[in-house]
Chains A and B, each alone.
Chain A
Amino acid sequence: SSELTQDPAVSVALGQTVRITCQGDSLRNYYASWYQQKPGQAPVLVVYGKNNRPSGIPDRFSGSSSGNTASLTIAGTQAEDEADYYCHSRDSSGNQRVFGTGTKVTVL
């Protein structure tokens, strides 16, 4: 399958931890990367590879993977973390790129 499925929306209280999941068959063989997108802005890479963060991304963002599910965890969620989050990986053939359906994170 070349699909990556995410929950459409999650909410989290300020300062609490939220986990966003991404499911797909290809994730058994390939790592996911994660992007944060705020309204009117281009997506920004927040986690890639096994669990790596680009320079400038706070360490409250972390990634993990198990079986066909990749997860992005935001610990101690801040108001500025309210955004859409997309996972991305290769498809099962390894030749194509595919995005998840996206999760809107609301900080309460």
Chain B
Amino acid sequence: DAGVTQSPTHLIKTRGQQVTLRCSPKSGHDTVSWYQQALGQGPQFIFQYYEEEERQRGNFPDRFSGHQFPNYSSELNVNALLLGDSALYLCASSLRQRETQYFGPGTRLLVL
């Protein structure tokens, strides 16, 4: 039973660039949520995708956008990168929106 997978594991970008992070949910799950975890802090909710639509969004600017594909995998896109976007980006999947979320290993993004 494959768990949640994310790619890449690490990424280095410069300010102003754009980045795309990818997530494949746990087998059988149809909902994907994205979180940003700054160093030394707990994760913060970015948004949730279900049935290929953004269902809920946290307090993040429009520079953060996403997509969910028919196979339930998801992408997180961040435009015009800022130094403050450096963080661990976690993807979590669940069966339906209301069920327990299971996390992937994360993508560590460093913005220089």
Chains A and B come from one and the same complex: no
